Amino acid sequence: MVLVRETVPGDWQALRDIRLDALRDAPAAFGSTYEQEARRGEAGWRDRIARGGTFLAYVPEVAASEPAGLAGGYTADPVTVELVSMYVRPRARGRGVGEALVASVIGWARDQNAAQVHLWVTEANAHARALYERLGFTPTGERQPLPSDPSIGEIAMARTLP
């Protein structure tokens, strides 16, 4: 069973820890770097939470008190929510955590009256691309270099919300 909830101010350390773990585990999957995020102080993590749209997932049978995954959404423009920071810890993969996190961001996007959810994924990340395709995302044709490592390419995917 996967439990997902939106972060609250008291989650700042758990959010920081899983975000830093994600950047250590898969640095080529994210637009920021471990060094950039490690410099962020408590106030910065609390500000990220205060903007809303950041979710932590828990899998009690894996670790009841430690987040198994992370995903966020932010309003990119009046009709688009950008899905960001998607990560599932290796020991929790294959348990539906990614699906549950994406569903939470989509639900949040609907609450924001967004018409679509957009994301960037590295071209080589076949597992993430397959997850997003299963959940109704399709490539938009947009491409860009990964901000943290321009030698890696990203493609955009989007899902229209009914």
The residues spanned by each domain of the chain are: 3-160
Asked if residue 62 has pLDDT above 80, the reply is no
Closest-CA residue to 72 (of 57, 61, 89) = 57
DSSP state of 142: E
Chain-wide mean pLDDT for the chain? Answer: 95
Structure tokens at 74: 């932010």
DSSP 3-state assignment of 147?
A: coil
Share of the chain above pLDDT 90, in %: 95
| CATH number for the domain running over 3-160 | 3.40.630.30
pLDDT by residue (tens digit) across 63-102? Answer: 778 999 999 999 989 999 999 999 999 999 999 999 999 9
Give the Å distances, CA to CA, from 157 to 47, 96, 116, 150. 27, 20, 10, 19
